[in-house]
Structure 1
Amino acid sequence: GAKLEKKRIIILDHHQPIGKAKENFLHVNPHLFGIDGAREISSAGISYLVAKLMDKKNIDLAHLAVVGALGDLQDKYEGQSLGGLNNIIVKDSIEAGFLNVETDILLFGRETRPLHKALAYLTNPYIPGISGEEDKCLAFLSSININLKKDDRWRALRDLSQEEKRKLFSALHDYLISKGFKSDIAMNLIGAVYTLVREEPWTPLRDAREFALLLNATGRMDVPGLGVAICMGDRGKSYEEALRTLDEYRQMVSKYLAWLNENPDRIEEWEYIYVLHGEKDIDEKTISTISTIVSASLPNPNKPLVAYSYMPREKTIKISARATDSLVRIGINLGEIVRIAAENCSGIGGGHDIAAGAQVPYERKMEFLKCVNLLVGENLMGEKNGG
């Protein structure tokens, strides 16, 4: 502590700040300037803008900030696109010749995976009978007369004609409606596609969202060095290892989603929140991703989701909370709610208004959850009374 006080420290962040930085800290944060760090720019974006200020040649790093924004799920603007300060970064990357943006169906593996596999990887939303079910995806595609192969090679989404894409989307839309999903969930399957044109065609890194998923997997699976190496240009050994890591991670996520589908009682609806009891059954490495996916398809969008997993080594629970844009618009700030609840339970927490995380001692789990439920309720009641 004493050593740090004598040093000039720069913090680049986009989360809601708590308190005031010490004098020797230079805190670069969009929230300090009235800019929403949850939607308008990620920490990757902040880092890029600082790098660009240091040397304009660093515009060749803009695409990595686009990847960072997509990894932070900031594509919340019209047509699943990036907005706010991210627009500047997208423009820089296009001008530098690294990025192309177009509207298309959003499927993981659009560049590389056989179409039925890409459909099976669809987890947001998680669609019973399609997500994780390659055989059923094959049958689904055959039923709408889309040719799955050309010259003995499996076709990917990129190989489909516009007419075939329209047919595929229409069938997916109808299927989702038949499963009880709202139409706007289906519409989320179409949006802005960010293609990294300097990357090799037919590779996962060509789609910026897939690039982000790859980096996320390396972080979640405790091999962040692989992600750093890829960002620095390694397309050899580190890249191959990262691909294996991503496959392992996605298999874990699919396994837990399938488990949740078989154990729906693990998601409880409380008065003001949903609670997902991951306990020891869902690996804490995946709870954030699971929380994001599950929150998108809950019956009542006016209740945040609080998901948790047990961390045996620390004897704590890892919490991942998600709200909707509509909740945020009426004044819910999950980052603040989770921070207060965690601190009340000898834990730590915080984040954004729409997404937050925390760790609290396991024995205070129910106390924490009840506190979050109470605080969300107080917020909602306060907004209603104030309105």
Structure 2
Amino acid sequence: MFLEEVERMAKIFKELIRRKHVRIYAQYDTDGITSASIIAKVLIRENCNFELRVLKQLNSKTVKDVNFNENDFLIFLDMGSGQINLLKDAIEKTNVLIIDHHQPIKYEHPNLLHLNPLLFGEDPEKYSTSLLSFIFAKFVNPRNIDQIDLAIVGAIGDRRDEGIKVGAISNIVEEAKVLGFINVTKDLKFFGSNKPLFKVIAYSFDPLIPSIYGNEAAALQFLQDLGIRLKNGEEWRTLKDLTQEEKAILADGIIREKNGMVDYSEIFGEIFVLSKKPDFLADSREFSVIINACSRMGEHDLGIRLCLGDYSVYSKSMEKMEEYKKQIAKTMSFIENGRILEKENGIFIIGGKEIPDSLIGVITSLILASKKPNKPVFGLAYDSLTNMIKVSARKQTTDNINLRDILVNVASELRGEAGGHKDAAGAYIPVGKECEFIEKINKLVGEINAKK
């Protein structure tokens, strides 16, 4: 049923792009950018002109930036399913395609093509929008099979690789291996194999070492204390220079440094090497973070150009990557000084105007990874674009609560908006409602936990 519907939508898509002006609106994270790049490549191959715009979010404020008339064909990627109520005017006046894996609002209209796994009884946690876009692209033209590596990069950016053994990602990885687009190995989960080892350790998100993060001198000392040689002659050693014995020593050192709050499965993992990309983009995790970094630093076009094969922007994209890592390190240091409020049923990061709203989701994830709390983490930061407070929420996958439902409940009471997944969700609430939001969240999570 699901694939039959994708095929049906692809046929309608091919007819619409022949007679309408295409406008693409994509969410600005790695999943959205890779999805936009896949669909852009499809349109280029169909000799179709189009416009592409990247949005942080689609909500009641930003929907005003969605321009259209009856001669347009609107495409929304990695957003739209939960914002159908905001798009009804567009849907009633022109044709709309939504490719998304977030919780959808059920709505049927002859002008609407809505590709979301939840609408077909599929598990949305096993899909990213990039995977859905790739499946769709193959039905438009089998030639688009060569976009399979971008689909995997997007899935990794959306953390769908955590369910690699099941679902769509598993099937697509196997297909990519057979076709020679990726090699899968088991190794340290750090990325940046050509960079000095101490820099890789200092700025690693996964695994994250809180006592070292952002501090290159501390990373150097950490490696020296482990007895790991730092240089080969005058050259700094890199990840790929490490012996198997040194990798084991490094893993043991990380476990000790984190007081046993991490195990080998979080340090070693499956590494997806992109066989048909240049060496500097061959590590799928690094490619994913580069795309995300460029977007978070306000340069969405760099990630799209890299995805489309314009490698002339690689140097500039790496500059943005370095800015991104240093900004995160600075922010992590900042919030540890009185910006974290711990309540009975949640941890709250009070970002205000000091933490960029584009980074609050990343910071929330890093606090969850570093502290490993048995309660959810909520990050709050001011968003100047909407003049609202942006909320990012994260929790351990073992915690059996639904963050999306919790945020939808509380945000609606405060005249805000929310969406996302059960383990990672987001919201926008009015400025000045932060304290009320925190109290309501703390109370609601407590009530849910009491019923377990």
Query: Structure 2-normalised TM-score?
Result: 0.76
In structure 2, the partner of 1:250 is: 325
2:398 is aligned with 1:311: no
In structure 2, the partner of 1:366 is: 435
**Residue in structure 2 matching 1:75, options 149, 161, 173:** 161
**Structure 2 unaligned blocks of 5 or more:** 1-87
Seen in structure 2, the aligned counterparts of structure 1 residues 289 and 183 have a Cα distance that, compared at 3 Å, is: closer
**Residue in structure 1 matching 2:230, options 126, 139, 148:** 148
- SS class of match (1:195): strand
Counterpart contact for 1:60–1:96, Cα < 8 Å: no
2:305 is aligned with 1:229: yes
Displacement after TM superposition at 1:310 (Å): 1.5
**Structure 1 unaligned blocks of 5 or more:** none
**Residue in structure 1 matching 2:256, options 166, 169, 174:** 174
Match runs of 1:105-144 below 5 Å: 105-109=188-192, 111-124=193-206, 126-144=208-226
**Whole-angstrom CA distance in 2 between matches of 1:3 and 1:117:** 48
Seen in structure 2, the aligned counterparts of structure 1 residues 148 and 298 have a Cα distance that, compared at 3 Å, is: closer
Displacement after TM superposition at 1:142 (Å): 2.1
2:373 is aligned with 1:300: yes
In structure 2, the partner of 1:287 is: 360
Write the letter of the residue equivalent to 1:219. Answer: S
Deviation readout 1:249-301 (Å, 9 max, x if unpaired): 1111111112223x1x3222222211111112211111010011101233532
Seen in structure 2, the aligned counterparts of structure 1 residues 173 and 380 have a Cα distance that, compared at 3 Å, is: same
Seen in structure 2, the aligned counterparts of structure 1 residues 20 and 324 have a Cα distance that, compared at 3 Å, is: farther
In structure 2, the partner of 1:94 is: 177
In structure 1, the partner of 2:114 is: 27
Percent identical among aligned pairs is 36
In structure 1, the partner of 2:273 is: 195
Counterpart contact for 2:209–2:254, Cα < 8 Å: no
Displacement after TM superposition at 1:357 (Å): 0.7
Displacement after TM superposition at 1:124 (Å): 4.1
Give the length in aligned residue pairs.
365
- SS class of match (2:122): coil
**Whole-angstrom CA distance in 2 between matches of 1:136 and 1:348:** 42
2:428 is aligned with 1:345: no
Displacement after TM superposition at 1:6 (Å): 4.1
Seen in structure 2, the aligned counterparts of structure 1 residues 299 and 64 have a Cα distance that, compared at 3 Å, is: closer
In structure 2, the partner of 1:272 is: 345
C-alpha RMSD of matched pairs (Å): 2.0
Deviation readout 1:331-366 (Å, 9 max, x if unpaired): x11112112211221211110000001111112222
In structure 1, the partner of 2:31 is: none
**Whole-angstrom CA distance in 2 between matches of 1:133 and 1:3:** 49
Match runs of 1:326-337 below 5 Å: 326-327=398-399, 330=400, 332-337=401-406
Deviation readout 1:67-126 (Å, 9 max, x if unpaired): 00110122324xxx56421011212222222211111111131x2211111000123454
In structure 2, the partner of 1:16 is: 103
Seen in structure 2, the aligned counterparts of structure 1 residues 3 and 310 have a Cα distance that, compared at 3 Å, is: closer
Seen in structure 2, the aligned counterparts of structure 1 residues 74 and 112 have a Cα distance that, compared at 3 Å, is: same
**Whole-angstrom CA distance in 2 between matches of 1:3 and 1:317:** 27
**Whole-angstrom CA distance in 2 between matches of 1:26 and 1:355:** 26
**Whole-angstrom CA distance in 1 between matches of 2:232 and 2:104:** 53
**Whole-angstrom CA distance in 1 between matches of 2:89 and 2:101:** 26
- SS class of match (2:145): helix
Seen in structure 2, the aligned counterparts of structure 1 residues 336 and 221 have a Cα distance that, compared at 3 Å, is: same
Write the letter of the residue equivalent to 1:279. Answer: G
**Whole-angstrom CA distance in 1 between matches of 2:170 and 2:440:** 38
Write the letter of the residue equivalent to 2:426. Answer: G
